């Protein structure tokens, strides 16, 4: 009898698992059909044919991204090094998880009562779980809404559709044949930050830590340790190095209150080849771009393409004080952990008008302006799939 009962329970569990698998497969198939039908209709309804490539992508808003936005909003994350280290480790452990309940449960199990109180204002796991799911649903919709004007500003025909009942978004873009450009348009959070540039001592200290703990063993990385440059690596190794640096165990071995970032172009001003890894100073930026009211692409006196930005009164006042305190020093202009430029401040800037340079092409400058002004994202989406196909 016991054997029969066990078999029945096993079959019941297996039946439920198969049902869930079939349901998820059905949702994916239906979503894909609606997505491609919508994209094809977009092409058919156009008055003219758009030659070139079609980018198709699926984005995902993961629980870790939503939880990170809550963590980073706390004062303690920037002021308490131990708290930040605990949160980074807990978030790192769930960063690759797509299943919502699994990711949230694992994060909650890693946090103490006090840490949950700090981040969510309560230690009630049920309430926290419900709140995260609501934020996940809201942020998925917000990303869909924010991407629309971003593509419009760049003059790109597109189709965006959320997969019902999930935290995934289907996106189609016409006329884009560069996967790197597609990634920037899809995933850039659109929030520019202004950072103090690290010193030669900072760069040398970071070099020493990386070498001592053999972090980059097996990677061709040329140590520099001068100026604010840590070293140089080929573009093909950047993703691997980033994964190493994101590991909380490695972050804990690096100097406190420093941030590492790549420059936006290679040492030769190209989009390929050797890139410089640089060190920035501080645990938080001097200011962020929340006060930017306008961003436009243009050219400077030397016919170099730039992005001009304007700030509101509050941001202008803060920017004036920051520039006054940093005359003769470099301030790095950073977005998505990429340094676009690090100009030397010549004088106090009163009117809140500044420009971003970075060996841009016209298209790169226009895309950056569109991302800055027309499409800030509440969280960073993850690209699940991305394909470029010729039409």
Could you tell me the pTM of the whole model?
0.81
Q: What is the residue whose two structure tokens read 């980059």?
A: 216
Q: What was the pLDDT predicted at 343? A: 92
* % residues pLDDT > 70 (the chain): 86
- CA 95/CA 260 separation, integer angstroms: 20
Secondary structure letter of residue 170 according to DSSP: E
Check if the beta carbon of residue 332 is closer than 8 Å to that of residue 195.
yes
The most confident of the ranges 150-154, 185-189, 205-209 is: 205-209
The crossing angle, in degrees rounded to 10, of helices 100-110 and 125-153 is 120
Tokens of 167: 């935290």
Closest CA to 68 of 92, 45, 49: 92
pLDDT level of residue 19 (50, 70, 90 thresholds): very low
pLDDT level of residue 391 (50, 70, 90 thresholds): low
Instruction: With residue 134 as reference, give the H or E element that holds it.
Output: helix 125-153
Q: What was the pLDDT predicted at 255? A: 93
DSSP 301-346: TTS-EEEEEEE-HHHHHHHHHHHHHTBTSBEEEEETTEEEE-PBB-
Closest CA to 328 of 309, 306, 343: 343
Closest CA to 67 of 128, 141, 24, 23: 128
The crossing angle, in degrees rounded to 10, of helices 63-72 and 100-110 is 40
Write out pLDDT tens, residues 334-355.
998 899 999 999 999 988 888 8
Under CATH, which architecture does the 191-374 domain have? 2-Layer Sandwich (3.30)
The yes-or-no verdict on residue 243 having pLDDT over 90 is yes
Q: What is the residue whose two structure tokens read 């997969």?
A: 163
What Å distances lie between residue 281 and 87, 202, 332, CA to CA? 21, 8, 10
Tokens of 291: 């006060």
Q: What was the pLDDT predicted at 238? A: 97
Q: What was the pLDDT predicted at 2? A: 39
A 10 A CB-CB count for 390 gives 8
Closest CA to 389 of 51, 155, 163: 51
Domain boundaries along the sequence of the chain: 31-189+381-391, 191-374
Q: Which residues pair with 309 in a beta bridge?
A: 295, 354
Write out pLDDT tens, residues 158-175.
999 999 889 999 999 998
Q: What is the 3-state secondary structure (H, E, C) of 14-37?
A: HHHHHHHHHHHHHHHHHHHHHHHH
Q: What was the pLDDT predicted at 377? A: 85
Write out pLDDT tens, residues 24-65.
444 444 444 444 454 454 434 433 334 457 899 999 999 999
């Amino acid at each position: 009898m016991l054997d029969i009962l066990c078999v029945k329970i096993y079959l019941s569990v297996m039946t439920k698992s198969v049902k869930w698998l079939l349901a998820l497969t059905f949702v994916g198939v239906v979503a894909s059909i609606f997505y491609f039908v919508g994209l094809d209709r977009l092409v058919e309804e156009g008055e003219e044919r758009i030659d070139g490539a079609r980018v198709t992508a699926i984005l995902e808003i993961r629980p870790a991204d939503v939880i990170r936005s809550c963590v980073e909003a706390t004062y303690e994350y920037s002021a308490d090094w131990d708290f930040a280290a605990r949160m980074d480790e807990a978030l790192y452990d769930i960063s690759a998880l797509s299943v919502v309940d699994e990711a949230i449960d694992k994060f909650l199990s890693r946090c103490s009562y006090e840490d949950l109180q700090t981040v969510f204002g309560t230690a009630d796991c049920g309430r926290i779980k419900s709140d995260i799911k609501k934020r996940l649903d809201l942020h998925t919709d917000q990303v869909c809404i924010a991407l629309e004007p971003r593509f419009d500003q760049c003059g790109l025909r597109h189709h965006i559709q959320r997969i019902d009942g999930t935290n995934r978004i289907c996106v189609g873009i016409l006329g884009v044949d560069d996967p790197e450009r597609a990634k920037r348009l899809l995933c850039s959070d659109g929030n520019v930050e202004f950072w103090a540039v690290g010193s030669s001592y900072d760069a040398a200290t970071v070099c020493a830590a990386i070498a001592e703990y053999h972090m980059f063993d097996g990677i061709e990385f040329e140590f520099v340790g001068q100026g604010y440059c840590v070293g140089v690596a080929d573009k093909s190794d950047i993703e691997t190095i980033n994964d190493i640096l994101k590991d909380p165990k490695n972050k804990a071995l690096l100097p406190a209150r420093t941030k590492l970032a790549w420059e936006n172009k290679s040492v030769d001003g190209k989009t390929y080849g050797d890139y410089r890894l640089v060190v920035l100073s501080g645990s938080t930026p001097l200011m962020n771009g929340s006060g930017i009211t306008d961003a436009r692409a243009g050219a400077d006196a030397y016919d170099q393409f730039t992005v001009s930005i304007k700030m509101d009164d509050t941001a202008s006042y803060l920017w004036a004080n920051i520039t006054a305190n940093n005359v003769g020093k470099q301030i790095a202009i950073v977005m998505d952990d990429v340094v676009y430029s690090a100009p030397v401040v010549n004088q106090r800037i009163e009117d809140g008008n500044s420009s971003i340079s970075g060996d841009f092409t016209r298209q790169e400058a226009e895309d950056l302006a569109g991302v800055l002004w027309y499409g800030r994202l509440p969280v960073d989406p993850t690209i699940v799939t991305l394909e470029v196909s010729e039409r």
